[in-house]
Amino acid sequence: MVKICCIGAGYVGGPTMAVIAIKCPAIEVVVVDISKPRIDAWNSDTLPIYEPGLDDVVKACRGKNLFFSTDVEKHVAEADIIFVSVNTPTKTRGLGAGKAADLTYWESAARMIADVSKSDKIVVEKSTVPVKTAEAIEKILTHNSKGINYQILSNPEFLAEGTAIEDLFKPDRVLIGGRETPGGQKAVQALKEVYAHWVPEANIITTNLWSAELSKLAANAFLAQRISSVNAMSALCEATGANVSEVSYAIGKDSRIGPKFLNASVGFGGSCFQKDILNLVYICECNGLPEVANYWKQVIKINDYQKSRFVNRVVSSMFNTVSGKKIAVLGFAFKKDTGDTRETPAIDVCKGLVGDKAQVSIYDPQVTEEQIQRDLAMNKVSVVWDAYEACKGAHGVCILTEWDEFKKLDYQKIFDNMQKPAFVFDGRNVVDAEKLREMGFIVYSIGKPLDGWLKDMPAVA
Ligand code: NAD
Ligand code: UDX
């Protein structure tokens, strides 16, 4: 029986291993983590992350061939294939601070593997890492060699939160990079056999190690670039009377461009895009390519601009001040169907509103009050468990996450309980703006022709 151990029971490690377990009943999969509360939650009825479909998959194989444990060393020692899926955040201090990936967790996992291993191992980079990381990992593993053969593979994960299970069941592709030596190719084959249980062979791509590592950073940079491109257009649409949804539809019909990932928004968030682009920028700088670094940096600059442009629009529309005014914020997660708030645009928007002395009342169906208060640190806000409660007595409503339930709210009821004039600032273009205008709302939709009111009060970006 092949034994797999995954170090890191997070948003990637947990769902990915659960899907391997359900698709490969003959493989024993153990997910380990240094965080006891996280492992306890994976072993309980309330999983540590919200992801549609995840509960069913975990329940079907937990205790059979899927296990969650804090006994990291034991399970690493016993495994044939070790996935490393620890966090690789942006460095906050020292060399490369604010850009480079912090590989502290990765390095300590690699050192632990070297310490406890007594048999040959395939070590799989599942975390997103800078290109050439495998070389450094090889050095750590083979230093003080005990005659053990290690093969390092790069197998980046392309799942998106909110659709993780769907993405894992039917991936567009699985990417496996390995050394071009017989040993390297044998390891690639072994990992390929795991995925071949459910992924068609044509969708399993094998490359050299560096291509696989770089492809992950490149994919995220390209995806984020599409959003920044359409968000840049949304500003021009507002200035000219064009409608960004019509523009997106028209350009997306060109098969060379394609229709996906062209929704204008208050800005992209999530734990990956900004971190991975900053990482790419740093790698370009380190390789003496400042022009390339600046090109990708611009994707982040536009994203920051989009968030501050939104705050400015709210403030300028409401007579240039929100001081003392109640503003309801609907949605705090970085996208729908997740409780994750890492790098969510809601953090910057709420901080901007509080900075202008607004009284912010936040509702999100999946994010806890504790999490919101932690994210907003010194900024005083209130958190409620009902959208209507958040909007009661408010001067304005900001929609910051595209949760389906926000499309179905009783906006007449919300309007009746708000201060007048009542504003809706739709950061995700989810409401039927015309219908809301008929009720009496002043509505701002990203990249859409402006209400007369908003035209008279232009936002200063
Ligand atoms: P996460 O923070 O949710 O999970 C990482 C886990 O690793 C944590 O539970 C932490 O306690 C554990 N950990 C850290 N050091 C450890 C150690 N030495 N031993 C055992 N456990 C340890 O992170 P995530 O969102 O799952 O991301 C993991 C990696 O996958 C990152 O590199 C990320 O860039 C990449 N990735 C994330 C996504 C996503 O959508 N979240 C998608 C693709 C790739
Ligand atoms: C992303 C990548 O999509 C995934 O392939 C990678 O493995 C991890 O990073 P994730 O961050 O989970 O996934 O979510 P994603 O769906 O990419 O959304 C990222 C952000 O972009 C969200 O804030 C989302 O609301 C925003 N977005 C997305 C837009 O503003 N407009 C769009 O058209 C699409």
108 - beta bridge partners? none
| Topology agreement, domain 3-199 and domain 302-456 | yes
- The Å distance, Cα 438 to ligand 1 centre, comes to 47
Q: 125-170: per-residue pLDDT in tens?
A: 999 999 999 999 999 998 877 889 999 999 999 999 999 999 999 9
CB 254 within 8 A of CB 264: no
Q: Is 269 in the pocket of ligand 2 (CB under 6 A)?
A: yes
Q: Which residue ranges have their beta carbon within 6 Å of ligand 1?
A: 7-13, 32-35, 38, 72, 85-88, 105, 108-109, 127-128, 157, 159, 161, 271-272
CB 176 within 8 A of CB 192: yes
pLDDT of residue 389: 98
pLDDT of residue 461: 56
Pick the residue whose CA is nearest to atom 1 on ligand 2. Answer: 160
Q: Which ligand is nearest to the CA of 429?
A: 2
CB 354 within 8 A of CB 380: yes
Tokens coding 382: 């209130």
175 - beta bridge partners? 205
Tell which CATH architecture fits domain 3-199: 3-Layer(aba) Sandwich (3.40)
Domain 302-456: assigned CATH number: 3.40.50.720
| Domains of the chain by residue range | 3-199, 302-456
Do the bridges between strand 150-154 and strand 3-7 make them parallel or antiparallel, or are there none, so unpaired? Answer: unpaired
User: What does the DSSP 8-state code read for residue 406?
Assistant: G
Q: 84-94: per-residue pLDDT in tens?
A: 999 999 999 99
Tell me how far apart the alpha carbons of residues 264 and 228 are, in angstroms, rounded to a whole number.
8
Report CA 60 to chain centroid distance, whole Å.
Answer: 26
Give the model's confidence band at 444: pLDDT under 50 very low, under 70 low, under 90 confident, else very high: very high
Q: Which of 306, 328, 308, 354 lies closest to 424 in space, CA to CA?
A: 328
Which atom of ligand 2 is nearest the CA belonging to 156? Answer: 7
Residue of 24, 61, 272, 350 marked catalytic: 272
pLDDT of residue 56: 98
Q: Which of 100, 124, 105 lies closest to 276 in space, CA to CA?
A: 100
Following DSSP, what letter does each residue of 346-388 receive, concatenated?
Answer: HHHHHHHHHHTT-EEEEE-SS--HHHHHHHHTTS--EE-S-HH
Tokens coding 345: 């645009």
Report CA 189 to chain centroid distance, whole Å.
Answer: 30
Please give the span between the terminal C-alpha atoms of the chain, in angstroms, as a whole number.
Answer: 60
Number of residues in the chain: 461
Residue 272 among the catalytic residues = yes
Which atom of ligand 1 is nearest the CA belonging to 158? Answer: 43
Q: Which residue of 6, 7, 12 sits with most ligand 1 atoms within 8 Å of its CB, as the best mutation to test the pocket? A: 12
pLDDT of residue 312: 97
Residue 127 assigned ligand-binding role: yes
Q: Is 160 in the pocket of ligand 2 (CB under 6 A)?
A: yes
Residue 379 scores a pLDDT above 90: no
Cis peptide before 48 (omega within 30 of 0): no
Which atom of ligand 1 is nearest the CA belonging to 105? Answer: 15
Q: What ipTM was predicted for this assembly?
A: 0.98
Which atom of ligand 2 is nearest the CA belonging to 161? Answer: 12
